[in-house]
Structure 1
Amino acid sequence: MALMPDADFEGDFLEVQENIRGIANAASAVLLPLRSKERYEKQYAIFCEWRKAKGANGSEKYKPSSLWAFYSMLKKTLISYENVNIADFSKVSSFLKTKSLGYVPKKSADLNRAEVETFLKEAPNEEFLLVKAVTIFGVCGGCRRQELCDVKVQHVKDEGAVIVVRIPDTKTHVSRAFTILSDGNGFNPIDLVRQYMKLRPSHTKIDRFFLSYRNKKCTVQPVGIKTIGKFPSIIAKYLGLENAASYTGHCYRRTSATLLANAGADVLTLKRHGSWKSSTVAENYVAESMCNKIKIAKMIQCGDGIETNSNISNKENETPVVSVSNKNISLEIESNNQKMIAGNLQMTFEKKSKCVINVYNSKN
């Protein structure tokens, strides 16, 4: 005897299925980044319209960088809404790579150390104190404009000798912290930040750190992301730099990374400073560093840093002696008219002589 399905049971089962599907769809929607969700959904809607039109080709209208951005947005939205992973379509990525051949992306111009220091020292505080404070944060921390906009009062701590700033949420979702020192070439960055902090209205309930600055005082109006993005071009105009419009909101981050690379920082240090997950961006800053290019040119053209037979020490002319005791280590080197390197210390011996290097252990 065949059992007839219970209508009530079947209805309840379908309702449960719909509830589960709704929960699954809601969970999938979380895959999209919250800050850019509207842009992602807008691009998905454009794609759906294009799909209905069947055949409209808009790849020629956009730069390769924009096509890659659209591809990234569609990849996440299609996984979320239609469970389709376009990363499996190798021809799509090959097409985008072909489009990118020979394309040079436009980047924000950056400031050099002298330009930053000139602005911080010479620009009048009555007009530019807010811009100076944002610039110090942006350059010292390698901050994006969104990160500067999101800095809150509780994220900034004045420790006396240094100011410690914490960035709890970044584009790559990696929190980081940076410090501002008092050392400056003829000016004190901490003093500028403290001057700005003292002008904060005591009655404001807004916890955003950067507030608007007018008529030598701060208002209760927080500074928006677009306003912060205009500050580098304001600096460029003050300094009389060409094409001031090319100094965009990303200028602070590029300036910070460039200064760090020029100072000899390696890729790992740059990645930690900028919270980059990939080494590619950090490697580009090191490769584009003018100081590194000059160093390479000297190595090629002048042979700097290359050891030849003429400056390699003859073992017969030097007699290193190492003696170790409980509290110190002594290194003795005897050399005859040779140039020796000991760690980071360079020594030149004019005549046959004796050098003693003492490394003391401070612990008892």
Structure 2
Amino acid sequence: MPCYYDNKRFNKIQFIEVFLCGFSFALTSFNKMNSHKEEPKQGQVFFPDHLLRKVDSARSNLLPQKSSGRYLKEYKVFCNWRLGNKVVGIDERVMLAFFEDQYQNSKPSCLWSYYSMIRSCLLIHEQVDIKRYGELQQYLKRKTAGCMTKKSKILSHLDVTRFLNQADDDTYLLLKVILILGIFGGCRRDELINLIIDDVEDHNNFIKVCIPKTKTGISRSFVITEDEEGCDPCVTVRKYISLRPAYLTNKRLLIGYRNKKCVAQVVGVHTVGNAPRKIAEYLGLADANQYTGHCFRRSSASLLVEGGGDLGTLMTHGGWKSVNVARGYVEQSTRMKTNIAKKIMGSFNETREFTTTSSVSTPHTACETVETSVENENDQFLASTSCSSSSLIRTPSLPVCKEKKAEDLLLASGNHFKNLSNCTFNFYIGK
């Protein structure tokens, strides 16, 4: 009995193990067969797990590389706000409540920048697009209505020429070169410090500068020429380049300048950003601190429009894709407003003429009454008449006498009419 029981028990356990192994093998084979033979249904995506890391890596590059830290900072503020208020999920009510709290604790002009950064992060990390929230956009428009953006002041054409002609090269040569590159090229701070010596091409009569790396990814180039008022920016740039040390291996164009010679230290973004303020202080301009690093770019756009440049030329010069952004860089200076006023007054002067009115009482007949205004015998005849004509023959004008009748006045003026009916003629006096 014991032996029989053990063998029977052994057979049951062995049978269960074999059955489980066979079932597991069959299930694995079935899954493999289905994974190779069955195709995903329409709208169904089969995505292996080993590709998830690549997806995360690709999403991390969707934010702007330079300001990604600020984007993530604002997104973290929004996440902490949700945790603090025990909010689960995202809808338009949540966003309205969040921006209402932000409006109480920050400037109204900052709301749109917060909206842009949080929208990008939500779309990347949570696949939520708040752009379709119409009430939220209307709320932001109402709260930011009337807010004036703070912009840098600009340098006029007179300010630029004064500094280039009056400032001493022994002290201000570097600032002159920064000013020339910034004005002629409409450059940003980063574009100036990233220029290398190979980007400058000297063509004797002019200097061509290429900007391969820009904020918008559009490469630009510009030319430096001589000024009409005796200022020669090309000479200044050539002088600065000739002072570069021979042992210098760095190809950066802008390097330090001290004690009448260039040094190996490269120029940083803060030096370029403070250049407009130092130029304004030298010229004695008011509010010198308001001439920021964006002064050169705004000044270049404004000077281009003052010189007669159209909108297309302006967008090409600055590398702008948006018309509204390009217009925002143009500052209406006193010179531009003066030119507009002169054009308005010019239209008044063109229409300021003496007129004479003539009326016709009977159709199909010549004018019977004419009102004239003659100051001297050298004035030409001017009449305004209402009649209808089938033909008009004009001859050289003759002097007019006040004593003549209406028909004689018309004939004496050199204008002959026939078959007149319901027409209007205007005659102007010219000296």
TM-score normalised over the length of structure 1: 0.77
1:44 match: 75
The match for 1:276 among 308, 315, 320 is 320
The match for 1:115 among 140, 159, 165 is 159
Q: How does 1:245-284 map to 2 (within 5 A)?
A: 245-284=289-328
Unaligned runs of 5+ in 2: 1-22, 36-46, 86-96, 356-391, 397-413, 415-429
Q: How does 1:26-45 map to 2 (within 5 A)?
A: 26-45=57-76
3-state SS of the aligned residue for 1:288?
A: coil
Compute the displacement of 1:142 (Å). 0.6
> Number of paired residues?
318
- The alignment's C-alpha RMSD in Å is 3.3
Unaligned runs of 5+ in 1: 319-335, 337-349, 352-364
Amino acid in structure 2 at the alignment position of 1:185: E
2:200 match: 156
- More relative contact order, 1 or 2 (CA 8 Å, 6+ apart): 1
Compute the displacement of 1:123 (Å). 0.9
Amino acid in structure 1 at the alignment position of 2:59: S
Q: How does 1:93-112 map to 2 (within 5 A)?
A: 93-112=137-156
Compute the displacement of 1:305 (Å). 8.6
Conserved 8 A contact 2:298-2:331:
no
Q: How does 1:1-364 map to 2 (within 5 A)?
A: 4-5=27-28, 17-54=48-85, 57-284=101-328, 288=332, 290-303=334-347
3-state SS of the aligned residue for 1:179?
A: strand
Q: What's the % identity of the aligned pairs?
A: 39
Larger radius of gyration: 2
Compute the displacement of 1:6 (Å). 6.8
Question: Which range moves more in the overlay, 253-262 or 85-94?
Answer: 85-94
- Superposed CA deviations along residues 166-201 of structure 1, whole A, max 9, x for unmatched, are 111212211111000123522210111111111112
Conserved 8 A contact 2:190-2:269:
yes
Amino acid in structure 2 at the alignment position of 1:22: R
Question: Which range moves more in the overlay, 300-309 or 79-88?
Answer: 300-309
- Superposed CA deviations along residues 297-340 of structure 1, whole A, max 9, x for unmatched, are 334445259678889xx99579xxxxxxxxxxxxxxxxx9xxxx
1-side partners of 2:238 and 2:395: how far apart?
59
TM-score normalised over the length of structure 2: 0.66
- Superposed CA deviations along residues 90-136 of structure 1, whole A, max 9, x for unmatched, are 22222221122111111101111111111111111111111100100
Normalized per residue, the structure richer in strand is: 1
| Structure-2 change in CA distance of 1:48 and 1:64 (3 Å) | same
